[in-house]
Structure 1
Amino acid sequence: MRVLVLGGDGYLGWPTALHLSDKGHEVAVLDNYARRKYDVELEAESLVPIEDLPTRIAAWEEVSGKKIALFEGDLCDAEFTYSAVRDFAPDSIVHFAEQRSAPYSMIDRDHAVYTQQNNVVGNLNLLYAIAEINPDIHLVKLGTMGEYGTPNIDIEEGWLEVEHNGRKDRMLYPKKPGSFYHLSKVHDSHNIEFACRIWDLRATDLNQGVVYGQQTAQTALDPRLATRFDYDAVFGTVLNRFVIQAVLGQPLTVYGKGGQTRGLIDVRDTVECIRLAVENPADRGEFRVFNQMTESYSVAQIAEIVANCFPGPVQIENLDNPRVEQPEHYYNVIHTGLVELGLQPHLLSDTLIESMFDIVGANKHRVNDDRMRPTVRWRGAIKS
């Protein structure tokens, strides 16, 4: 199968491209290198050093004997997007190519506007390219569990059966996003569902939890194949921050009381979920949704797991929460679709012990402590 991976230079896009290539698919990657530009803007960088994309592609061919094609450009450029889809003629397109940070989208008006324009317009250009060039292409789009927010009912896989005034209907699950980034993903989901319903496209929307881990079977083959390890307060995950703080002997900084619960997934499971979605495409006209997560924990529970797994003393420190979110809430997510396709999940505690502490230990000299403290406040974006 021919698979075009958008955002193929990113944390998830790169290991996904390698995984699909390793599994026998003909792969191309597309990127405009915006993620590397955010590093320059924020004066932050991956804890693990990463090579440029052409070097990575050459290293993969050297290690595996398999070639990956490269398209350099921006999805917001419609002409480029159409050209890439025509030239590679994919059977499936995996779409990671969006600004992915909630804090980044909440810095100020400029960052909020940029996030929504970049994400929504790029996705719309892609939908039109698929519809006009080959509507049989299967779009696999990375959404986020953050689209749902934290409702006081079970979170279904994308759709909800509703009974109202004696009548029943099936509708998209109501969304309550927590940032302008998450809002952009909601717009994407609605636009994709509309395109499937009106243009008879086929799409799988993967509402993904927080991803952890830095190694897959393919990236571990050669240091030049490494993917990112973000830990700063804008792009890093809370788990990555906790692991670094444990290794450095610093307190684990929990926002508020740590009652915020989130779904999590190992990066190895992420790339496998993408493969399963690609190899088992949605039907024409179908907007299929999977909740892509394997475990759920509160922030306080994540801190406790890190502390229990780390071979040394660990302290926990509570900070004021810079976000506007419920301090405690109900959280029960249905996530059976990918397991039914064959996903065999990894567990957080195993990944911590197997690799994450060692990876951080080998690169701890690259940590910039100043970048781990929160600098973006949800209400701080509004000038009084």
Structure 2
Amino acid sequence: MKVLILGIDGYLGWPLALRLGARGHEVIGIDNLSTRTFSEEVGADSAFPLPNPEDRVKEAKKHLGIDINFYVRDVNDYEFLKEVLRRHKPDVVVHFAEQRSAPFSMKDYKHAVYTLENNLSSTVKLVYAIKEVDPTIHILKMGTMGEYGTPNFDIPESPFVEVEIKGKKDKIVFPRWGGSVYHWSKIFDTDLLLYFNSLFGITVTDIMQGPVYGTRTQEIVNESLRTRFDFDETWGTVVNRFCVEAILGLPLTPYGKGGQIRGFISLEDSMEALRLLIEHPPNQGEYRLVHQFAEIYSVRKIAEIVKAAAESLGIETRIQNVENPRVEAEEHYYNPEIKVLPSLGFYPKKNLKDEAKAMIEDLLPYKERLSRFKHVIMPKTKWRR
């Protein structure tokens, strides 16, 4: 297959390129390197030093024998996007090219507006470019389980639910409630893709993925092949952040009560799930919604697991709840359905208890580098000022 990855330079984009290339797929990527720029903006950086795109491509060729076409461009350049589609004729476009941080979207009105304009514009332009160039191209779009919020009822793995009002039955889009401007951009993405699917018959896999943790996949066989790893309060997800806090001798800091429950998945399992979804596309003209997670934990439980992993390596740490900068339920019901991935043969191979220890071991050689960014770990971005 030919696979075009939008956002190939990112935490998920790069290891997916390696996974697909290693399986013999032709990989093309586009990235404007904005995450590198925005990370610098908040005074942070990747835990692992990242080669420039040209060197990343060379290292993939050297260690894995993979040829990757990597364009350093913005996917919001509509004419360029169409040209790439015409030139490479991909079977599927993986859309990761969005601003992915909730705190970044909540810093001020400029960051909120940028998040909405960038994320929604890229989705709409991709749809119209595919409609114009080749309507049979499969769009695999990364959404988030955070679109749902924390409803006090089960979350079905379906975009629609049946309702009955005054004796009349109908279908409505399953209710969603974003916890940040970033999450609302993802909700709008889903609505747009549902609409364009009904209007143009485009083929879509819309993935609702839980937070991802991990430092490596089976293709990362050399330091030069590592993907980026964020741990600061703006870009770092909770497991990754806790692992770095432990290494630096900082307390592990659940926000608020720490009872927030989410579905998590390791980086390795995320790559395998994405591979399955790419290699087993939906029927032409179908909209397929997929829940992608492997384990369900509260933030408090994650802190306990990371603490135990650190102590098994001789690192003493403690858990210290801090004031929650976000506006969210800190204790709630959470029961999402997951059927599609198991039906394709997906079963998680990793678990947080084992991976937390492996992550800390991978990060320890970079302790001096991590310590340079110690000041950007604690939360400073508050939803209400």
TM tier relative to shorter chain: over 0.9
SS in 2 for 1:16: helix
Confirm whether residue 351 of structure 1 aligns to residue 355 of structure 2. yes
Confirm whether residue 337 of structure 1 aligns to residue 340 of structure 2. yes
Residue 126 of structure 1 corresponds to which residue in structure 2?
126
Residue 183 of structure 1 corresponds to which residue in structure 2?
184
SS in 2 for 1:297: strand
Residue 93 of structure 1 corresponds to which residue in structure 2?
93
Counterpart-to-counterpart distance in 2, 1:250 and 1:321: 17
Contact 2:39/2:235 (<8 A) preserved: no
Q: Residues 83-108 of structure 1: CA distance to partner in whole angstroms, max 9, x if unpaired?
A: 11111110001111000000000000
The code of the aligned residue for 1:253 comes to T
Contact 1:204/1:287 (<8 A) preserved: yes
Q: Residues 270-321 of structure 1: CA distance to partner in whole angstroms, max 9, x if unpaired?
A: 1111111111111122110111111111111111111222224331111110
Q: Higher mean Cα deviation, 90-99 or 340-349?
A: 340-349
Counterpart-to-counterpart distance in 2, 1:161 and 1:17: 35
Report the CA distance between 1:254 and its aligned residue.
1.3
The code of the aligned residue for 2:351 comes to L
Q: Residues 153-196 of structure 1: CA distance to partner in whole angstroms, max 9, x if unpaired?
A: 11111324323133444433211010000111111111111111
Equivalent position to 2:320, from 302, 317, 323: 317
Counterpart-to-counterpart distance in 2, 1:343 and 1:27: 23
Confirm whether residue 364 of structure 1 aligns to residue 355 of structure 2. no
Counterpart-to-counterpart distance in 1, 2:20 and 2:196: 26
Q: Higher mean Cα deviation, 316-325 or 360-369?
A: 360-369
Structure 1 unaligned regions, length at least 5: none
State the percentage of identical aligned residues: 44
The code of the aligned residue for 1:147 comes to E
The code of the aligned residue for 1:174 comes to P
Q: Residues 103-146 of structure 1: CA distance to partner in whole angstroms, max 9, x if unpaired?
A: 00000000000000000001100000111110100010000011
Pairs within 5 Å for 1:47-58 = 47-58=47-58
Equivalent position to 1:376, from 370, 373, 381: 381
SS in 2 for 1:157: coil
The code of the aligned residue for 2:352 comes to L
Counterpart-to-counterpart distance in 2, 1:192 and 1:53: 30
SS in 2 for 1:241: helix
The code of the aligned residue for 1:343 comes to F
Residue 4 of structure 1 corresponds to which residue in structure 2?
4
Contact 1:75/1:123 (<8 A) preserved: no
Counterpart-to-counterpart distance in 2, 1:191 and 1:214: 33
Residue 326 of structure 1 corresponds to which residue in structure 2?
329
Equivalent residues, number: 378
The code of the aligned residue for 2:284 comes to R
Residue 112 of structure 1 corresponds to which residue in structure 2?
112
Counterpart-to-counterpart distance in 2, 1:161 and 1:193: 14
Counterpart-to-counterpart distance in 2, 1:327 and 1:171: 28
Tell me how large the CA RMSD over aligned residues is. 1.2
Q: Higher mean Cα deviation, 246-255 or 321-330?
A: 246-255
SS in 1 for 2:320: strand
Residue 38 of structure 2 corresponds to which residue in structure 1?
38
Contact 1:196/1:284 (<8 A) preserved: no
Structure 2 unaligned regions, length at least 5: none
SS in 1 for 2:216: coil
Counterpart-to-counterpart distance in 1, 2:42 and 2:158: 34
Contact 2:163/2:172 (<8 A) preserved: no
Report the CA distance between 1:65 and its aligned residue.
2.0
Report the CA distance between 1:351 and its aligned residue.
1.0
Pairs within 5 Å for 1:1-384 = 1-165=1-165, 166-219=167-220, 221-310=221-310, 311=312, 312=314, 313-345=316-348, 346-353=350-357, 355-367=358-370, 368-380=373-385
The code of the aligned residue for 1:359 comes to D
Report the CA distance between 1:210 and its aligned residue.
0.4
SS in 1 for 2:253: strand
The code of the aligned residue for 2:309 comes to C
The code of the aligned residue for 2:341 comes to L
Counterpart-to-counterpart distance in 2, 1:173 and 1:376: 30
Report the CA distance between 1:364 and its aligned residue.
1.1
Report the CA distance between 1:374 and its aligned residue.
0.6
The code of the aligned residue for 2:116 comes to Q
Contact 1:294/1:335 (<8 A) preserved: no
Contact 1:71/1:84 (<8 A) preserved: no
The code of the aligned residue for 1:209 comes to G
